[in-house]
A and B are shown apart, each in its own frame.
Chain A
Amino acid sequence: MFTEEALTAPAQKPPASSSSSSRTNGVHSEEQDLFSEATVELSLDSPLNDRKKKDAVKPSLSAPAASVASSSSKAPSKTLEELEEEESEDKFDLNISVTNPEKVAIFHFLSFSFFKGTSLTMFRSKTFTVRRRFSDFLGLYEKLSEKHSQNGYIVPPPPEKSILGMTKVKVGKEDPSSAEFVERRRAALERYLQRVVCHPSLLQDPDVREFLEKEELPRAVSTQALSGAGFLKMLNKATDAVSKMTIKMNEQDVWFDEKIQDVENEEQHMRKLHVMVESLVNHRKELSGNTAVFAKSVAMLGSSEDNTALSRALSQLAEVEDRIEQLHQEQASNDFFTFSELLADYIRLLGAVKGCFDQRMKAWQRWQDAENMLQKKREAEAKLLWANKPDKLQQAKDEIAEWEAKVTQYEREFERISATVRKEVIRFDKEKARDFKRQIVKYLESLLNSQQQLIKYWEAFLPEAKAIA
């Protein structure tokens, strides 16, 4: 379970690195289930030679990024005037794709390799491939969350674990549902990484770079974090904290208050929408199945029909319906990956945003507690003065000084984290709008393609129907 302590306490034991752990059938004593770390070995032939050349630093921006699959995480070149933007938008080309999961029987692992093309100088070479396991991704999140959440950064959450899905893969079922699961996970991990590298601050984090570059990572140990339920619990705690805020409103706080409300509403809304889209996915799959069954039935009818021309037309109709079934299948997949998963991602992301607000609340609380403590110390000093106990007075004065310092520190921290959260939220909103727009366009384009295909099929059938005599 992902506890709050893990979020706030920076001091934590580093995970014990077991050397040849990647070879063993990882049995962990903690709550994490055996299957959650399944990784599949990639058999992608990677240009490992590139990586060996440590000294070769390619000139960055002029060289084109290596052409790699999938979308880049380009920041828009011409941005609108940004409110509290300190750092310039880095034009970077970092293409990440997570490719080719493959199952290796003995190990029961599911590992992903990603192949990157980059023109950034910070990386040692232009294109490289590494293999990572699902638990590595979770480990990365853990590290980033530990370091950055408390400062108010929105750390993208990784995909959820799925016991059922992994069990199927492990057991070796070669059915379409396990293939679907693998694809789903692959795509989710890809999006996750893209979001991470899209974040200007996270990209600078050495853990991220290590994740992207290092040949073999030490086995992540504490990846118990993210079952769906655990995450939800964390979110609920965040909203609870917000509601406890009782300080008087100043202008800044109004902004935050309104924002958290917006986030709340938006999350509700997305959940509703997500349910509807899932319904669409299922219905379309049903439609696909029923169309296939219908096609067969029409073919049978055609063979039974004694009028030759009609018989022929009916069997042509059966073929058209078969092709349409294929279209429906593809469209259902598109519904899912482009639309449904987008919503699912953002529901989790909004949770992370709420977490930010929660962090700010905690900082505020700390500051307030310090203020209270300072007040108490001052009162104590006053009492001592009145009671005329000079020996304890010095101690009291020291404590006051201590707490004054703390108050100042916490107040500054609070302001810092408020600024960060605000900046993050603005950046997030922009990214969200961009993301949605891009995905919706993609979705509509696939629908368009579908419809155009449909026209082709029916136009081909029309003369057949007219030929009936």
Chain B
Amino acid sequence: KIYEPEVHSDRRKWRMRSVSVDLNNDASLVIDIPDALCERDKVKFTVHTKTTLSSFQKPEFSVPRQHEDFIWLHDTIVETEEYAGFIIPPAPPKPDFEGPREKMHKLGEGESSMTKEEYAKMKQELEAEYLAVFKKTVQVHEVFLQRLSSHPMFRKDRNFQIFLEYDQDLSVRRKNAKEMFGGFFKNMVKSADEVLISGVKEVDEFFEQEKNFLLDYSIKIKDATAKAEKMTRSHKNVADDYNHISGALNNTAADNNTAFKNMCVLQKVEDRMASDQELKLTELLRYYTRDIQAAKDLLYRRARALADYENSNKALDKARLKGKDVAQAEENQKQCLQKFDKLSESGKKELTSFKARRVVAFRKNLIEMTELEIKHAKNSVSLLQGSIEILKSN
């Protein structure tokens, strides 16, 4: 994706356009977010859809959506009983502009005490940070929608269609939906209960393995994510320091100026290295931490279904003993078994495709990250060689 930031005179307004070179696998429903506008701290995403499906009114259309709309969509899907056997794509996290906001605050406060160059530098830093947050948040919201559109069941979801198509403000509908689902919401325990999952007596080898793998992996990936975040932050600090230093060096004696000016460009490269590493590696880890959680949620729902089934068995036995409500108990047991079987069947498929998806995503991101790091390092090398040449020849 190519991002072109556009800063309005009121620097609290940011717009970003992106030209998507992404390939959605299936041309029948192609979704992307080409545009995003940040005003104060509210982000408005432009969701753009191209489709050949007859269930939609038009073949191509765009709607403005807020982060809360995405959350609403996610929650309604989670609530839907029929999707219990699927891994629900994790909800995108709230856009976090805390970092850039702090910087902007500092910039405003320190404006009077800074030199013109220092101010320009800080502003540059600020813009870069905004851009980075933007990139991340657009990416993660887009991926969420693309997961839905590429899933055979989710793409047909009525609420998904509304989300894509409804050309008025969704927030009204959202409120109504909340009122409808309100009670239901409270009863749903959304996140997996580790105890329940691990406590279940597993007969199925596949699920036994999956359970062990997921429980272990989720701990490791959470840890890796946290460590990656720390590392990325340090890297950004180093880039920032280069920025400050190059700004200060610009004021020094003329003879060393050219080479020092190159330091400023060096900083940009360092900064890009840090952001790209974050985008490709840290974000990848972050995303899969959430996805692993979604997989665990599926296991949980299946475990609950199994528990329900076992309870229904006990209830049936009791009914038979008492000779009362046997038919009802039998029906209940049959339904529980059906539900459990359905969950197991679709769960198996989902978890298998999840593995494949994960491997593909890691491969893609690791390759992209490595190629970018090489590119940036090569850039640095030529910059440094140039500077050294200049200095030595003087």
Contact = CB atoms under 8 A, between A and B. Distances in A.
B377 A451 contact: yes
Interface in A428-459: 433, 436-437, 440-441, 444-445, 447-448, 451-452, 454-455, 458-459
A441 B230 contact: no
Contacts of B12: none
21 contacts: A269-B248, A276-B245, A280-B241, A290-B234, A293-B231, A301-B221, A306-B355, A307-B359, A310-B362, A313-B366, A440-B256, A441-B392, A448-B388, A452-B381, A454-B373, A454-B377, A455-B374, A458-B377, A466-B363, A468-B359, A468-B366
A182 to B, nearest CB: 27
B234 A287 contact: yes
A298 interface: yes
Contacts of A280: 238, 241-242, 245
A445 B388 CA distance: 7
A284 B235 CA distance: 8
A304 interface: yes
B237 interface: yes
Given A280-B241, A287-B238, A462-B374, A448 B381 contact: yes
Given A448-B385, A459-B374, A276 B230 contact: no
Among A269, A301, A310, A448, find the residue whose CB has the most chain B CB atoms closer than 10 A: A301
Contacts of B234: 283, 286-287, 290-291
A273 B384 contact: no
Interface in B370-388: 370-371, 373-374, 377-378, 380-381, 384-385, 387-388
A297 B363 contact: no
B255 interface: yes
B57 interface: no
Given A310-B359, A458-B370, A459-B374, A294 B245 contact: no
B213 A306 contact: yes
Interface string B236-270: 01100110110011011101100110000010000
Chain A, interface residues (CB within 8 Å), range: 35 or more
B391 interface: yes
A458 B374 contact: yes
A468 B363 contact: yes
A304 B252 CA distance: 53
Given A287-B235, A297-B224, A451 B380 contact: yes
B384 A304 contact: no
Nearest to A295: B227
Contacts of A276: 241, 244-245, 248
Contacts of B220: 297, 300-301, 304
Contacts of B244: 276, 279
A465 interface: yes
Contact of B241 (A279, A291, A301, A304): A279
A350 to B, nearest CB: 13
B391 A466 contact: no
Given A298-B224, A437-B394, A440-B391, A293 B230 contact: yes
Interface string A238-255: 000000000000000000
A2 interface: no
Nearest to B374: A458
- Enumerate the 3 nearest inter-chain pairs by beta-carbon distance, A residue then B residue, closest first: A287-B234, A280-B241, A468-B363
Given A317-B366, A462-B371, 13 more contacts: A273-B245, A283-B241, A287-B235, A290-B234, A291-B234, A294-B227, A300-B220, A313-B362, A444-B391, A445-B388, A455-B374, A465-B367, A468-B362
A369 B321 CA distance: 123
Contact of A277 (B245, B363, B377): B245
B204 interface: no
B206 interface: no
B387 A433 contact: no
Interface residues of B, number: 52
Interface of A: 269, 272-273, 276-277, 279-280, 283-284, 286-287, 290-291, 293-294, 296-298, 300-301, 304-307, 309-310, 313, 317, 433, 436-437, 440-441, 444-445, 447-448, 451-452, 454-455, 458-459, 461-462, 465-466, 468-469
Contacts of B378: 455
B223 interface: yes
B217 interface: yes
A202 to B, nearest CB: 25
Contacts of B366: 313, 317, 465, 468
Nearest to A446: B384
B359 A269 contact: no
A269 B260 CA distance: 15
A286 B363 CA distance: 29
Nearest to A281: B241
Contacts of A441: 388, 391-392
B148 interface: no
Nearest to B369: A465
Contacts of A287: 231, 234-235, 237-238
B319 interface: no
B216 interface: yes
Nearest to B281: A317
B228 interface: yes
A458 B255 CA distance: 36
Nearest to A283: B237
Interface string B280-292: 0000000000000
A318 to B, nearest CB: 10
Contacts of A455: 374, 377-378, 381
Contacts of A436: 256
B231 A433 contact: no
B248 A273 contact: yes
Contact of A297 (B227, B260, B373): B227
A459 B373 CA distance: 9
A280 B362 CA distance: 32
A24 B208 CA distance: 74
Contacts of B241: 276-277, 279-280, 283
B384 A465 contact: no
Nearest to A286: B234
Contact of B238 (A284, A306, A454): A284
B43 to A, nearest CB: 29
Contact of A437 (B217, B233, B255): B255
A283 B238 contact: yes
B227 A293 contact: yes
B231 A294 contact: yes
Contacts of A317: 366
B386 to A, nearest CB: 10
